[in-house]
A = this chain, B = another copy of it.
Amino acid sequence: MAAWAERLSGVRGVLLDISGVLYDSGTGGGAAIAGSVEAVARLKRSPLKVRFCTNESQKSRRELVGVLQRLGFDISEGEVTAPAPATCQILKERGLRPHLLIHEGVRSEFDDIDMSNPNCVVIADAGEGFSYQNMNRAFQVLMELENPVLISLGKGRYYKETSGLMLDVGGYMKALEYACGIEAEVVGKPSPEFFRSALQAIGVEAHQAIMIGDDIVGDVGGAQQCGMRALQVRTGKFSPQTQEIAASTSLCREHRESQSHPSKRPGDEHHPEVRADGYVDNLAEAVDLLLQHMDK
């Protein structure tokens, strides 16, 4: 692999994933990842443009930013690209009136959306809200539509809370797709439109930008498909605890099964299709490298 100087050459803007990079969510507000508060502060003091790009769909941006500020992060609502506001824009543009299957925490983002006589379903990480009754209601709404539209805020498989791995919205999206015989529209990473809107907000071209995330598919693969570079951190989804599990199942399965001696190994650096432009232990190391190799 080329030297870091070459790999990071010409970077002017940085997109930061939030969950798993800045902090691990969970009960009591979650916990900041060691070194990340200071790393964000250093980035913001540097000449690099910074934007936060998250698939968080359990909390409104206001609530999310509140949690992060309490953990010590320098972050404001206007700096965050998130799926719920992006979805609201799509709903308005296309005259769609959603039936919502979402977490109560994000409902306020939809306050000015017409929800009478629904002609689509919007699904997000509803957590405990993914009851059978709520899923069945969303299913019935879709089945009653002549042209069923299902919009999913992200399609993550799982995420890590302080208490362990948690099912994300992706599986529930797949459940509705299968039951209704339809395909969902995904708003959020890895959708190129979503990355582009984050880049537009900071006026940086894709080839001048780098994404830092813990998800090899949603963050790294998505950003690269959009023409950006991407670093994967070994925190969050791929922290040591998670790595052991991931090594034996999940994204790594195809790789593992092709090995004669499957072994527990760090992170997800052997994904069969996606290869990051670099792997770092955490955001602090990523920022060290970026500031060190930034064009002066």
Contacts and interface: CB of A to CB of B under 8 A. Distances in A.
Interface of A: 126-133, 135-136, 139-140, 142-146, 148, 157-158, 164-168, 170-172, 174-182, 245, 248-251, 253
Contacts of A157: 178-181
| Highest count of chain B CB atoms <10 Å: which of A127, A129, A249 | A249
Contact of A180 (B146, B180, B250): B250
A133 to B, nearest CB: 7
Contacts of A174: 171, 174-175, 177-178
Contacts of A133: 128
Contact of A167 (B135, B158, B164, B181): B135
21 contacts: A127-B132, A129-B132, A130-B135, A135-B167, A136-B166, A136-B167, A139-B171, A144-B245, A145-B248, A146-B249, A148-B249, A157-B180, A158-B179, A170-B178, A171-B178, A172-B175, A174-B174, A180-B250, A181-B249, A181-B253, A182-B253
A140 B128 contact: no
Nearest to A158: B179
Contacts of A148: 249
Nearest to A132: B130
A146 B257 CA distance: 11
A14 B289 CA distance: 71
A128 B135 CA distance: 10
Contact of A251 (B131, B135, B181): B181
